[in-house]
Structure 1
Amino acid sequence: MKYTLITGASSGLGREFAIQCARMGMHIILIALPGGNTASLAGQLMDEYAVDVQVFEFDLTDAAELEKRVNEIIRCYPVDFLINNAGIGGTEAITETPLEKIDRIILLNVRSTALLTRQLIPHLLRHDKSYIMNISSMAAFTPIAYKTVYPASKAFISVFSLGLKEELEGTGISVSVVYPGPILTNSGTARRIISQGLKGKMGLLPTPEIAQKAIRMTLAGSPVIIPGIMNRISHFLMQLLPTGFKMKLVSREVKKEISYSI
């Protein structure tokens, strides 16, 4: 029995990854914060798809706890697929953003991804073929005012993943990085996306479609995955624009989200 490990699995894209992987017959390890009803999701997946689902609830930003729990996981379960999905963001002027929030974005989006990946690589190398999928964002492609730290953290995920892919070439570990566009993960993000009108909805895809495409292309060995034709067109066009111009263009639209942020 081999397992797929998914972080941030209690809701949003992480929850959908769990559903899609179970549907494909994969056994799963779900990592999420306590209180996210992850155990209930695990029970549903086991009943419906006859797969084994293990749940580990802890805070990924606690480095000591992360190391301890991952050691426990790799001691008991053969993981051959890692999905680094956990992440947080938000829209707020930098002067209004609490220091604790900035710290948490960096700890979760950047540090925990790097530490978890590093800890699992020797374990993944034991398999003839294994996979790492890291979730970045379309926001990684340009600096954005009123988000600042979030796109920077997702740019890290992008560069980290591509460097890791090159370093692990020929080892049996395939590394992919996914750049989703807007996702209706909760009421807060829904309000922010709707506030942007047609521009905000461009590139919007159903969460199951994003998860299905990301898993399928990761298992096919695709290093760079941009779900949705509109997102791929947008990425191509944005590459043609000067950095200063596209920063102003995107930041002007993002500023509209502030009043809808929670």
Structure 2
Amino acid sequence: MKPKDTYAVVTGAGKGLGKSLSVELARRNKNLVLLAKEGEDLFGFGAFLTKKYGVKIHCVEVDFLQEESLATVADKLKNLNVNILVNNAGIGGSMFFDQTDIQRIDSILQVNIRMLVMLTRLLISKLKNQTSSYILNVASMASCCPIAYKSVYPASKAFVYSFSKSLAEELKCFGVHVCVLLPGPIKTNSEVSHRIEKQGWWVKAGLQTPTQLAQIGIDALFRHKSVVIPGLITKINWLLLKILPKSICIPMVSQAVKNEISAVDSAVPLKELKFT
């Protein structure tokens, strides 16, 4: 099978980190299946990648909150050879738990956990059929420490981390390499950056662009790294979270998030913050 006949599947490919990951893969001459919600100009983005990099693109507009989404993806991929899966789609944000809409909590669980697992299960036989294949799961530095005023999001990313490490051990004998990326705060847009900056100067210092993270993540994936902690500040934060007792880490990190909420009207739900 020729490399040009294989595809990389990227979820959440219409904006933010997912868009940058798609660009980085196309730049490396990888054909792509782009998955994203409607209204993100996915087909225009796909046409741009084809024109600039000469790669083959399939665009699938799908909402992972809809029951039929997995069946839709399965139908689109049934005749394609897949050797790379990038599970990037995710929902995050900062808010008091008792003020968070139940539907939003359910959405975080569905996208960050359920669909990531189910899509991986759907494609696992295709990945095992390749001589060498890759899975990149986007977790978060939030997976390293429980965080008040986020609650469900860090727990969901801790699941992604654990799932990735377990799957890596299970699949290594089949030539399927699994890598988990732990980004810190991301400059997805000016509004998100501004709100994250309210968490404090140290958090602001660790902000990275989607382009930076995509380059680091894809490079590490193809170098067979199992865990990627991008950037010096992020590495320092990871080390501190490992060394310091949770009785110190949890209040410290939670206070930073509370500062963000206090900087806006806490009575009004924040817009979705895309950390992945």
TM-score band, normalised by the shorter chain? over 0.9
Cα distance between partner residues in 1 of 2:65 and 2:179: 23
**Unpaired runs of at least 5, structure 1:** none
Quote how far apart the aligned CAs of 1:4 are. 0.5
Cα distance between partner residues in 2 of 1:181 and 1:149: 17
Q: TM-score, normalised to structure 1's length?
A: 0.96
Paired position in structure 1 for 2:8: 4
Paired position in structure 2 for 1:250: 253
Quote how far apart the aligned CAs of 1:188 are. 3.6
Offset from partner CA, 1:29-73 (integer Å, 9 cap, x none): 10000111111111111111111111000111334331x223223
Offset from partner CA, 1:72-101 (integer Å, 9 cap, x none): 233221110000000011100001100000
Specify which of 106, 109, 125 is matched with residue 106 of structure 1. Answer: 109
Paired position in structure 2 for 1:93: 96
Paired position in structure 1 for 2:129: 126
Paired position in structure 2 for 1:207: 210
Residue 40 (1) aligns with residue 44 (2)? yes
Residue 191 (1) aligns with residue 194 (2)? yes
Paired position in structure 2 for 1:49: 53
Corresponding residue SS for 2:58: strand
Cα distance between partner residues in 2 of 1:52 and 1:131: 19
Q: TM-score, normalised to structure 2's length?
A: 0.92
Quote how far apart the aligned CAs of 1:142 are. 0.3
Please list, as runs of the form range in 1=range in 2, the aligned pairs for 1:17-28 lying within 5 A after superposition: 17-28=21-32
Q: Identity, % of aligned pairs?
A: 38
Offset from partner CA, 1:106-146 (integer Å, 9 cap, x none): 00000000000011001111101000000000000000000
Residue 60 (1) aligns with residue 64 (2)? yes
Q: Which range moves more in the overlay, 197-206 or 212-221?
A: 197-206
Quote how far apart the aligned CAs of 1:229 are. 1.6
Paired position in structure 2 for 1:155: 158
Residue 173 (1) aligns with residue 156 (2)? no
Q: Which range moves more in the overlay, 179-188 or 90-99?
A: 179-188
Cα distance between partner residues in 2 of 1:133 and 1:104: 22
Corresponding residue SS for 1:25: coil
User: Contact conserved, 1:91 with 1:254, CA < 8 A, in 2?
Assistant: yes
User: Contact conserved, 2:200 with 2:256, CA < 8 A, in 1?
Assistant: no
Corresponding residue SS for 1:79: strand
Q: Which range moves more in the overlay, 184-193 or 213-222?
A: 184-193
Cα distance between partner residues in 1 of 2:36 and 2:196: 25
* Distance change >3 Å, CA 248–CA 197, structure 1 → 2: closer
Paired position in structure 2 for 1:236: 239
User: Contact conserved, 2:188 with 2:209, CA < 8 A, in 1?
Assistant: no
User: Contact conserved, 1:4 with 1:27, CA < 8 A, in 2?
Assistant: yes
Residue 146 of structure 1 aligns to which amino acid in structure 2?
Y
Cα distance between partner residues in 2 of 1:173 and 1:69: 24
**Unpaired runs of at least 5, structure 2:** 265-269, 272-276
Residue 10 of structure 1 aligns to which amino acid in structure 2?
G
Residue 18 of structure 2 aligns to which amino acid in structure 1?
G
Indicate the RMSD between aligned Cα atoms, in angstroms.
1.2
Quote how far apart the aligned CAs of 1:187 are. 3.8
Offset from partner CA, 1:183-216 (integer Å, 9 cap, x none): 0113442121121241221322222111011001
